[in-house]
Amino acid sequence: MNLKKSLLLVGIILIIDQVSKIYIKTHFTYQESVVVFDWFKVLFIENEGAAWGTKLSDLLPISDNLGKLILTVFRLFAIVGIGYWLYDIIKKKSPKVLVLALSLIFAGALGNIIDSVFYGAIFNESTPVQVASMFSDEPYGSLFYGKVVDMLHFPIIRNAIWPEWMPYFGGKTFNFFEPVFNIADMSISTGVGILIVFNKKAFGKKEDEEENQNL
C-alpha cells in the first residue's frame, strides 16, 4: 500500500467518523437511543477519559481537568509518533498488511483526538432534554477539553447469569457487549486485530532480512 492509498483510507475513515459524531451530537439528546436490531442500537453517550471511559484522575491524585489535559496532550504525541511510523514504513515499502493496520490505527486515533481537542470549543452541552448545536456561543468547554462522542452499542447478550460455581462472578448478571464505542474505536481495534492475527506477515520482511544478515 502506497502513501496515496494510505491517506485515502485514513481520509475515508475520518469523514465517516466525524460525520457520524456530528450528526449524533446535533440530533440526539444525551443518552437517547434508537433500537436498530435486538442486538444493536444507537446510543449517544460522551466519553471524557480513555478506553471504556477511564479517567486519569481515577488512577492518579489529580483533578479531572488536569487529567483530561494530560490525556489529550499524550494522545497528540501518540498521533505524531504513529504518523511518523506510518510514513516510515511506507517509505521503506514494508508489508502491505502492516501499512493497512497502522493506517487504521492512525485514522482512529486521529478521529478521537479531533473530539478531544475541538469539540469542547464548538459544541454546547448535550443533556437529556437538550440537543447540542455546533459553533455555539456557549460551548461546554474549551480547546483540549472536549468529550469523545460514542454511539455504537451491541448488547448481544443481556441480563445473563454467571454459573454459581464460578468464583466471584457466580450468580451475578452480565451483559455482552457492554461498552459503547464509535467508528474511530472500530478502526483502532481492527488495526490492532490485524497486527495480532497477521503478526508474522506484518513484521516478516524485517525479520527475514535480519535472519539473512546473521547467516
**Residues taking part in catalysis:** 150, 185
- List helix spans (H) across 92-198: 96-114, 120-122, 183-197
Residue 116 per-residue DSSP state:
I
CA distance 103 to 65: 31
> Within 10 Å of residue 145's Cβ, how many Cβ atoms?
19
Q: Which three cell numbers stand for residue 52?
A: 471504556
* Phi, psi dihedral angles at 86 (to 5 degrees): -60, -45
Could you give the angle at the alpha carbon of 110 between the alpha carbons of 45 and 91, nearest 5°? Answer: 155
Is the sign of the CA dihedral 191, 196, 201, 202 positive or negative? positive
> Within 10 Å of residue 147's Cβ, how many Cβ atoms?
21
